[in-house]
Amino acid sequence: MKPVLLIDFGSTYTKTTAVDVDAGVLLGTAQSYTTVEEDISLGLDKALSEMQARTGISDYAERYACSSAAGGLRMIASGLVPSLTSEAARRAALGAGAKVIKTYAYELNEEDAAEIAALKPDILLLCGGTDGGNSTCALHNAEVIAALDCDFPVVVACNRACAKKCAQIISAAGHEAIVCENVMPDFNTLNIAPCQQVIREVFLRRIIRAKGLSRASELISGILMPTPAAVLSALTLLSEEMGEMCAVDLGGATTDIYSITEGLPSRAGTVLRGLPEPYAKRTVEGDIGMRYSSRGVVEAAGMRRICEIAGLSTECVQAWVDRVHETPGLLPLREEERQVDFALASAAIEVGLARHAGVIEAVYTPMGLAYQQTGKDLTRVKHLVLTGGALIHTGRAEEIAHMAMNTQAYPSSLMPRQATPLLDKNYMLSAMGLLAQKYTDVAKAMMKKEFE
């Protein structure tokens, strides 16, 4: 037996998974509250003690970890045209496991600079201009960033004609600047993989330390990646065995949506509009969640929709939403409370999938009626993977998923409609994303067994 420990330092819970990589079996799982405000190793120690009590294992051949603790990797992206380089920057950041808290287009002004300083991001991604194209905007923004009294690294992924100059301007002011390839070297051509790799390297080298996770460094072999990147890696691997899929990670504050598919048009006579979509895509809905962002779910879906799903009055729904907003640790005990939670989960997934998916619209041309698609067509994906405590522990995950997919609220959305729900009942995804970095075949086999 060769036991390997996989750790996920979450914002609320530190989750541990023990795997025998020789046999390719799950040995056990355990979790404890994340203690990032004190010493993160304290929460890890509690989880490990529980794991030892359950499995009898105290010594591991290897230990790997991912993290979204203390808010995860908070990033700001600045580009040129909103629909082009700013969007390319946003996709690069999300695919790397970051949470994009703000994007800017065109030249930054004084108000933008003040806002960036107040937001205090972990990383700023500077983009703008295709190779050989506009340099003025990126150079101006580099000057603005250099003048900020903030301590965050800047990843420069703009027009190659001015990238080094931008980095020099930023470095001369005492900020760290890392140059990588342009995220959009040619018009409508994305090149986000090099940028994503740099972001992950910065995460490992600097952000982990800033979040206090280095206190646990002696307990693990190495922290490999942000948790969302681990999940995306696991889903990509799983799709090789099970086909195109989507996934929802429903949390207390945010909802992550993933799609592993080309998402090309399924309707004849449809033309694509906008930037090409990445095969493995992640988006973060920072305003919708089951506790901290419960009011955001009501605002996004509408009180009428929540009441319709729950079968309850506005007063009843509002009372529970207000309570969990003020006390996020509350669990539903009465049937009415459970019904509101069911409605919040259904609506959160419904809104998240609709935002993540593409849309289709009819257009009239000289040749007659045609269709225009923006974003991914997810109507043909085979599976919808469900993860997050609110779904894993509800006992109604499949019902929630079907309620969300069968909504009539977004008739033009290309969100999944007939996908088969698969529940990540053992919190396998982030752990398998970590394991896959060294034991790819083992991770793939274990996930196939778990989800088939």
Per residue in 24-62, pLDDT (tens digit) is: 999 999 888 776 566 667 778 888 889 888 999 888 889
State the residue for tokens 């007939």: 418
DSSP state of 413: B
Backbone angles phi, psi at 17, to 5 degrees: -130, 130
Considering only 168-182, 223-237, 238-252, which range has the smallest mean pLDDT? Answer: 223-237
- 359 pLDDT above the threshold of 70: yes
DSSP state of 69: G
| H or E segment and range at residue 35 | none
The residue ranking higher by pLDDT, 132 or 269, is 132
**Nearest 5 degrees, angle CA 426-CA 432-CA 433?**
130
* Beta strand 154-156 pairing with 177-179: parallel
* Beta strand 359-365 pairing with 383-387: unpaired
CATH 3.40.50.360 occupies which residues in the chain?
73-206
- 364 pLDDT above the threshold of 90: no
- 441 pLDDT above the threshold of 60: yes
Helix spans in 267-388 (H): 294-301, 303-310, 314-326, 335-356
pTM: 0.81
For residues 365-403, one letter each, b for 16 or more C-beta atoms within 10 angstroms of the residue's C-beta and e for the rest, the string is eeeeeeebbebbbbbbbbbbbbbbbbbbebeebbebbbb
- Say what the pLDDT of residue 214 is: 59
* Beta strand 62-67 pairing with 3-9: parallel
For residues 98-119, one letter each, b for 16 or more C-beta atoms within 10 angstroms of the residue's C-beta and e for the rest, the string is bbbbbbbbbbbeeebbeebeee
pLDDT in tens, 101-155: 888 988 999 999 999 999 989 899 999 888 998 899 999 999 999 999 888 899 9
Q: How many Å apart are CA 112 and CA 110, to the nearest integer?
A: 5
CB atoms within 10 A of CB 139: 18
Report the length, in residues, of the chain. 452
Residue whose C-alpha is closest to residue 220's, from 7, 434, 452, 435 = 7
- Say what the pLDDT of residue 45 is: 80
CATH 3.30.420.300 occupies which residues in the chain?
3-70+211-220
Burial class (CB in 10 A: 0-12, 13-18, 19+), 326: exposed
Q: How many Å apart are CA 126 and CA 139, to the nearest integer?
A: 10
**Residue 189 bridge partners (DSSP):** 186
Q: How many Å apart are CA 211 and CA 65, to the nearest integer?
A: 14
Q: Which fold would CATH assign to domain 73-206?
A: Rossmann fold (3.40.50)
Provide the mean pLDDT of the chain.
Answer: 88
Tokens representing 278 are 């990445």
pLDDT in tens, 185-202: 988 788 888 888 888 778
Alpha carbon 321 to chain centroid, angstroms: 24
Q: CA-CA distances (angstroms) from residue 183 to 170, 191, 280? A: 19, 5, 16
Q: What is the CA radius of gyration of the chain?
A: 22
For the domain covering 3-70+211-220, report its CATH number.
3.30.420.300
- 216 pLDDT above the threshold of 60: no
146 near 168, Cβ under 8 Å? no
DSSP per residue over 168-209, as a string? HHHHHTT--EEE---S-SBTTB---HHHHHHHHHHIIIIIHH
The set of residues, in sequence order, having a beta carbon less than 8 Å from that of 310 and lying 6+ positions away, is 316, 317, 339, 340, 342, 343
Calculate what percentage of the chain has a pLDDT beyond 90: 53
Alpha carbon 275 to chain centroid, angstroms: 20
- 227 pLDDT above the threshold of 70: yes
